[in-house]
Amino acid sequence: MLLPRVVLLLVLGTVQAGTYRDTGRSRNTDVLVVRLGEHDYNSLNERTPHQDFGVVETVFYPNYSHPQAYHDLALLRLDSKVSTQRSISPVCLPWGKESDRVLTDQVVTLTGWGDTRFGGQPSSILQEVKVTVFSPIQCDHSYSNLPQYAETWPQGIGQETVCAGDPNGGRDACQVRMTNLNLILYS
C-alpha cells in the first residue's frame, strides 16, 4: 500500500494487461479484489483480520507493453480507504539517491504464497525467503536460453530490472526452471 486508497502491483502474471494496452487504463475492474493483511488464506481465525477491497481503476506504467516484462507495474485505486493496523501499513518506495543504490550481491527478503518446491502446490501461509541480487548481465545470460525469452525480453534484461535468487538453486519466488541459477525478475 502506498496511500490509503492506492496499491502498487507487479503486473506480469497478475493482471491481464494486454486488453488495456491501448489506453494504459482499465475501468472494468469488477473482477479484481485486493486483499491486505492476509497470512493464511485457508484460515478463518487469524489474529489480525485481513481487509478486502474492490478496484475502481487500474493504471499501468506508461511504457508497459504486454507480453514484454519491461515496466510491469500498475497502480490500483481501491474502492475505499485502507485502515492501517499491525499487519497493514503503507510502505515507502526509494527515491532520490536511495533509488540509485546498487543491489548486486546484496541479500534481500521476499514474501509471498508461492510454491514451496518446484512442481508443488502453493502455500496457503505467507512465506519468506532470503535471496541474493544478481547483476543484470548474469541474469540476462541465465534467462537467454528460455523459450519465452525473446518475447518477454526482446532488448535483453537491463539495469531497470532487479533479478534475485539462490546462487546454488532451490530458493526463489517463482516457478521457473533455470539452467544454472534460480532467478526472479522484477522490472
Domain count, the chain: 2
pLDDT tens digits for 114-136? 777 777 788 888 888 888 999 99
- What residue has cell string 489480525? 48
Q: With contact defined as beta carbons under 8 Å apart, do 14 and 8 qualify?
A: no
pLDDT at residue 143 is higher than 50: yes
Whether 102 and 160 map to the same domain: the answer is yes
pLDDT at residue 178 is higher than 60: no
Give the pLDDT score at 29.
Answer: 53
Greatest alpha-carbon span in the chain? 47
Whether 107 and 181 map to the same domain: the answer is yes
Identify which has the larger pLDDT, 185 or 42: 42
The residue from 78, 105, 133 where one domain ends is 78
pLDDT at residue 137 is higher than 90: yes
What range does the domain containing 57 cover? 6-78
In angstroms, rounded to a whole number, what is the distance separating the alpha carbons of residues 74 and 24?
Answer: 9
Identify the sign of the CA torsion 94, 14, 167, 131: positive
List, as one string, the DSSP characters of 89-113.
Answer: ---PPP-GGGGG---TT-EEEEEE-
Residue 93 has which C-alpha cell?
A: 518506495
Instruction: State the CB neighbour count (10 A cutoff) for residue 19.
Output: 11
Least confident of 114-118, 139-143, 153-157, 163-167: 114-118
Whether 109 and 181 map to the same domain: the answer is yes
CATH code assigned at 174: 2.40.10.10
Strand (E) or helix (H) holding 149: helix 149-152
pLDDT at residue 16 is higher than 60: no
In angstroms, rounded to a whole number, what is the distance separating the alpha carbons of residues 155 and 34?
Answer: 32
Highest mean pLDDT among 44-48, 153-157, 166-170: 153-157
Whether 41 and 105 map to the same domain: the answer is no
Whether 47 and 111 map to the same domain: the answer is no
Whether 164 and 133 map to the same domain: the answer is yes
Whether 64 and 125 map to the same domain: the answer is no
Specify if 55 maps to a domain.
yes
Specify if 83 maps to a domain.
no
Give the pLDDT score at 11.
Answer: 60
Whether 72 and 108 map to the same domain: the answer is no
Specify if 85 maps to a domain.
no
Specify if 89 maps to a domain.
no
| Residues 158-182, mean pLDDT to the nearest whole number | 64
Whether 131 and 59 map to the same domain: the answer is no
In angstroms, rounded to a whole number, what is the distance separating the alpha carbons of residues 131 and 120?
Answer: 20
In terms of Cα–Cα distance, which of 120, 104, 123, 113 is closest to 167? 104
User: What percentage of the chain has pLDDT greater than the value 70?
Assistant: 78
pLDDT tens digits for 24-74? 555 555 577 888 888 898 888 888 888 999 988 888 888 888 788 888 888
The residue from 78, 112, 128 where one domain ends is 78
Specify if 101 maps to a domain.
yes
